[in-house]
Structure 1
Amino acid sequence: MTLELLATRPWLRHYDPGIPHTLKLTPEPLPALLQRAAERFAETTAITFYGRNLRYAHLWEEAQHFARGLLAIGFQPGERAVILLPNIPQAVIAYYGVLLAGGIVVLANPIFDAEGFAHEVRDSEATTVIALSMFYRLVEQVRAELPFPRLIYTNLKEYLPSSQRIIFTLLRQEREGHRVPAEQAANAHWFQHVLAAGTNGDLPTLRADDPAVILYTSGTTGKAKGVLHRHASLYANTYQTRAWYADADEGNERVLCAIPFSHAYGMTACMNVGIALGATLILLPTFETHNVLHAIRRERPTFFPGVPPMYAALNEVRDVRKYGLSSLKSCLSGAAPLPIEVQEGFERITRSRLVEGYGLSEAGPVTHANPLRGQRRVGSIGLPLPDTEARIVDMHSGDDVPAGAIGELLVRGPQLMAGYWRNPQATAEAITPDGWLCTGDVARMLPDGYFQIIERKKEMIIAGDYNIYPRDLEEALYEHPTVIDAAVVGVPLPDGRTEVRAFVVTRPGEQVSEEEVFAFLRNRLNLPVMPEKIEFREALPRSFIGKLLRWRLVEECSARSRAERKEWWCERKPT
């Protein structure tokens, strides 16, 4: 390691032993991950789903059959296929099958409303939708407006063990709405029929620079944009993330897959990295606390990539240690800031290592993580991954700022997106001519190369002459013994001021007054501006991945304020 390299990348000296500074990757198409795992670990369980196991050799065979079946029913290379599935075996088979057929996967949120789903189908110009049968009402509603050529349904029971399949058919299928009505079923293909049609035929030749996946952003400030990744960028991010698990035992690890594969973090950190490790993927269609705990006790996972609300929920379970969480070795938290109280509580009950990382859909998504064995910095997103560059620039001039100064985080590396789907203007605004992605996050780099996220630029509160960072206040609120969730937002007022408002969720059965919380904050923080109001909630708005949606709180407060002003005016309006 040269002094010149350390001067520009001081984080390299803090890598765990065994993590290379550069991977020297030769990009390959994503299905190479599964093919390689099938060759090396043919008899290893690739997927376990409520007791049903699929070996790697079988999973690879199913993916190829699905690809050939797609081509047999008219799918063409380059077309887009929307996958509307939770974490079930069909999701993995469909993902790799579409890619093997030369298609572009569009990952859709399984808890979409019709408007959001229709936008993704329309914007991507998808020709094929692969959906769970229980979503048929949503799918048929959108199909009536956008008659895409091919629809493939699959049922949750198809990959359940035979005993559970019988119970599911008798007790759950009708009650939970898994049966597609005959009229709609007649106008759709079925997953198993597509597999059966794919026993023969050639598959197209894939290249690493072919488009592979479209991921849609959350769309909090307008219509969601499609993030287009090529095979090469997702292949690179898979191995960058896999390298962080320096002591992983390939072929013998077990990954708990509770994050939806439809999210960039679940797709990479759970599915693709798990397959690159030859690990067993323990699939959970939804995150329900006690189901997760029973899965941990039954399946003994070693890795658990997750998001802060997942770890926080497990922390709150009485006698949680009886579920055998000691099998966990490493847990990488992403998608949202990890509160210190959640981190410390989870490590106490599991004796595992829980570290915070960072990423965004436009970067595959992982760019930073704290070391899993070495020095981690509480409240830090850690270090850039191998082959990832990062810098902090002034938010106005765009010039580099010195270590310790606050500015916008920019990243560059092989995991960056090709651009926003058919949106060159947005792409040009996000990626500089020399290849740096502007993250939109306010951050600082410490002198030794660790990075800290201060706040999203759009969520920083400007109150008078002061910049307020919500995370500072939220971390203090989490320290209160009754608080289990917190959010701080700036609410614009009619007079042009911004009101700082806090929202907290307390433990069930425990109560605390607004004044007690104010006093608690004043004792811990010395800030020029403090919250003017504190509201108590049963829950805070979060995305399907668990990301705090502060913008919804702002919209709600603004709407309430407008209604109150209207009511005030009506009461005083002369008759």
Structure 2
Amino acid sequence: MLTREDVLAGLPDYLHQILDRHASSHDDAPALHESGQTLSYGQLREAVVRLAKQFESDGIRAGDRVMLVAENSRLLVASLLALSRLNAWSVVVNARLSAGEIDNIRAHCSARRVLYGSATSKDAAGHAERANAVLRMATHLDSYHLGPLNEDCQPEFVENDPSRQVALMIYTTGTTGAPKGVMLTHRNLLYIAHSASLLRQLCSEDRVYAVLPISHVYGLSAVCLASLFAGAALQLEARFDPQELARALRDDGITLMQGVPTLYARLLELADAGQIELYAPKLRFMYAGGSPLDMTLKTAVEQRFGLTLHNGYGLTESSPTISQTRIDAPRSDTSIGLPIPGLDIRLMNNDRSACVAQGEVGELWVRGPNVMKGYYRAPDKTLEVLTTDGWLNTGDLARQDSDGALFIAGRSKELIIRSGFNVYPPEVEAVIAAFPGVVIAAVVGRPVEGNEEVVAFLQVANREAFDTTALKAFLAERLSPYKRPSHIHLLDSLPATASGKILKHQLKAQAEAL
């Protein structure tokens, strides 16, 4: 059985050193495939060095925060590694976020500069135009746009310890005016990269389909960095296209496919309708994560592909992986598997005074080399979830079987996971409340097959005059598509306690009855 020492053995100190693990004889091996073009490991190494020098000449210093507004691309991968060379922090942002979300994140982290992956993302190009960014060219990479220099940016202190030095930040929210930036260190991310490569038995012969957003920690560390750690090839896709995925599985020698459950559900839906043919002669490993896996979907996927659909669990604050099923021990249930090597777990009772008995449901706490440093510029929020001795409260409820396998029983938070992306109700509620005529808004999740929907309940000043269509247009300008409510319901009043606290469990019951 793998141990913490196994994962720590040979672990590089910094992200960019992931390329130095491979001998020069590996330089001609493919590293990144994108839109019919291939970048070798040698070319990627050269591109990273040149890009780091270009960033330095553009005023980026150690300790600076640099926003990367992009979708999956060679440029995004190289930028992460180039900024690591400078000891700068990458702030990875999905280009599909709204202008308001991006502005709030930029202001909160006081980014020195913003890089826009404009050549491969129309959304990034739109943000670049709004920011009056200037065009830059990069060796072996696509062109990009670079925003103005922020002279007010003060660099953060550079730690000598890679377990303390922040490599990047991923924001868990961005619309309320108080976004939370999760600070992940080099050690955090490399520990998950190595762990994932070992548990998936990745090797240099593998070709990994990478459609999970690298702006999401699942796609970043467990897919992108894990593949580079093993010397495997990544096939980068900016957005999920089931027709293209079916073609790649058939023609490109894809050996690993990882995605959220809705990806698999969509593939089966189109295959059943005769619109695509699912044939994957080289595929050896499938993995679902990012949201709950339904047993019906797991069974259907396994029957179609003739392979086990592995399952796992994690969160941004743990870089992200906490547990996953093992290749050598396939499961016929929807367990999220065993904790990853080197991770301590405990399941606490309601008042957090003791651990629950085996088999009972408790609040899941974890501790290990993958747990975040904290929330940026938010010590109070950090203390709410992270103890001084390193225990992270996931906010989720779980139970553990006698064989050590974990099962998620529910969420103690109100977090909604839609298509693998986190949706935080207060964020959506704040945007809705800004629309004229809204008195109060409450947002809950509604389970659907293999996913969750966002449902909004509103109390408005005048129901007859309220324009729901205008509200939807208002939200479309301010929220990413996955954060927008699928259903909006008007009520005379929202259920509440005497003190005025909204009774969300009643609203959730209404949503589930729809």
**TM-score normalised by the chain length of structure 1:** 0.68
Contact kept in structure 2, 1:410 and 1:436, CA below 8 Å? yes
Identical columns (%): 26
Q: How far has the Cα of 1:38 moved from its partner? A: 5.8
Closer, same or farther: CA 78–222 of 1 in aligned 2, 3 Å: closer
CA distance in 1, matches of 2:82, 2:322: 27
CA distance in 2, matches of 1:53, 1:224: 37
Residue from 253, 276, 299 that aligns with 1:300: 253
CA distance in 2, matches of 1:40, 1:387: 32
Closer, same or farther: CA 38–218 of 1 in aligned 2, 3 Å: farther
Between stretches 451-460 and 421-430, larger displacement belongs to: 451-460
Q: Deviations over 1:85-141 (max 9, x none)?
A: 111111111111111122100000120101110111111110111112232332444
* Counterpart in the other structure of 1:136: 125
CA distance in 1, matches of 2:34, 2:204: 18
Aligned runs of 1:46-125 on 2, under 5 Å? 46-125=31-110
**Unaligned 5+ runs, structure 1:** 1-14, 145-150, 161-177, 190-203, 462-469, 479-483, 495-542, 566-575
Closer, same or farther: CA 405–490 of 1 in aligned 2, 3 Å: farther
CA distance in 1, matches of 2:388, 2:332: 33
* Counterpart in the other structure of 2:206: 253
Indicate yes or no: 2:8 matched with 1:25.
yes
Closer, same or farther: CA 485–213 of 1 in aligned 2, 3 Å: closer
Q: How far has the Cα of 1:448 moved from its partner? A: 2.0
* Counterpart in the other structure of 1:448: 403
CA distance in 2, matches of 1:372, 1:275: 20
**Unaligned 5+ runs, structure 2:** 150-157, 417-443, 461-478, 496-514
Aligned with 1:376: secondary structure? coil
One-letter code of the match for 2:387?
Answer: T
Closer, same or farther: CA 152–492 of 1 in aligned 2, 3 Å: closer
CA distance in 2, matches of 1:222, 1:385: 35
Closer, same or farther: CA 309–218 of 1 in aligned 2, 3 Å: farther
* Counterpart in the other structure of 1:8: none
Residue from 294, 297, 305 that aligns with 1:342: 297
* Counterpart in the other structure of 2:240: 287
One-letter code of the match for 1:251?
Answer: S
Aligned with 1:357: secondary structure? strand
Aligned runs of 1:266-415 on 2, under 5 Å? 266-318=219-271, 319=274, 322-376=277-331, 378-415=333-370
More helix, by proportion: 1
Contact kept in structure 1, 2:168 and 2:183, CA below 8 Å? yes
Contact kept in structure 2, 1:38 and 1:57, CA below 8 Å? no
Indicate yes or no: 2:25 matched with 1:36.
no
CA distance in 1, matches of 2:249, 2:459: 48
CA distance in 2, matches of 1:488, 1:80: 32
CA distance in 2, matches of 1:377, 1:458: 28
Contact kept in structure 2, 1:132 and 1:154, CA below 8 Å? no
CA distance in 2, matches of 1:215, 1:186: 20
CA distance in 2, matches of 1:263, 1:304: 16
CA distance in 2, matches of 1:369, 1:81: 32
Between stretches 228-237 and 213-222, larger displacement belongs to: 213-222
CA distance in 2, matches of 1:411, 1:238: 18
CA distance in 2, matches of 1:349, 1:244: 24
Q: How far has the Cα of 1:489 moved from its partner? A: 7.5
Aligned with 2:251: secondary structure? helix
**TM-score normalised by the chain length of structure 2:** 0.76
Contact kept in structure 1, 2:456 and 2:485, CA below 8 Å? no
One-letter code of the match for 2:233?
Answer: T
Aligned with 1:108: secondary structure? strand
Q: Deviations over 1:232-263 (max 9, x none)?
A: 111111112222124x3x21011000001110
Closer, same or farther: CA 491–459 of 1 in aligned 2, 3 Å: farther
Aligned runs of 1:170-569 on 2, under 5 Å? 208=162, 209-218=164-173, 223-246=178-201, 248=202, 250-318=203-271, 319=274, 322-376=277-331, 378-459=333-414, 474=447, 478=449, 552=485, 556-557=488-489, 560-562=490-492
CA distance in 1, matches of 2:138, 2:303: 36
- Give the CA RMSD over aligned residues: 3.5
Between stretches 276-285 and 233-242, larger displacement belongs to: 233-242
Q: How far has the Cα of 1:73 moved from its partner? A: 2.1
One-letter code of the match for 1:106?
Answer: V
| Count of aligned residue pairs for this structure pair | 433
**Which structure has the larger Rg?**
1
* Counterpart in the other structure of 2:510: none
CA distance in 2, matches of 1:544, 1:329: 34
CA distance in 2, matches of 1:449, 1:218: 33
Closer, same or farther: CA 46–288 of 1 in aligned 2, 3 Å: same
Q: How far has the Cα of 1:294 moved from its partner? A: 1.8
One-letter code of the match for 1:326?
Answer: P
Q: Deviations over 1:176-213 (max 9, x none)?
A: xx9x9xxxx79879xxxxxxxxxxxxxx9975232110
Contact kept in structure 1, 2:75 and 2:117, CA below 8 Å? no
CA distance in 1, matches of 2:7, 2:494: 61
Closer, same or farther: CA 564–401 of 1 in aligned 2, 3 Å: closer
Closer, same or farther: CA 131–393 of 1 in aligned 2, 3 Å: same
One-letter code of the match for 2:491?
Answer: S
Closer, same or farther: CA 441–492 of 1 in aligned 2, 3 Å: farther
Contact kept in structure 2, 1:52 and 1:159, CA below 8 Å? no
One-letter code of the match for 2:236?
Answer: L
CA distance in 2, matches of 1:404, 1:438: 19
Closer, same or farther: CA 110–487 of 1 in aligned 2, 3 Å: closer
Q: Deviations over 1:536-557 (max 9, x none)?
A: xxxxxxx9797xx6x9468x33
CA distance in 2, matches of 1:435, 1:38: 36
Contact kept in structure 2, 1:303 and 1:328, CA below 8 Å? yes
Aligned runs of 1:142-181 on 2, under 5 Å? 143=131, 151=133, 153=135
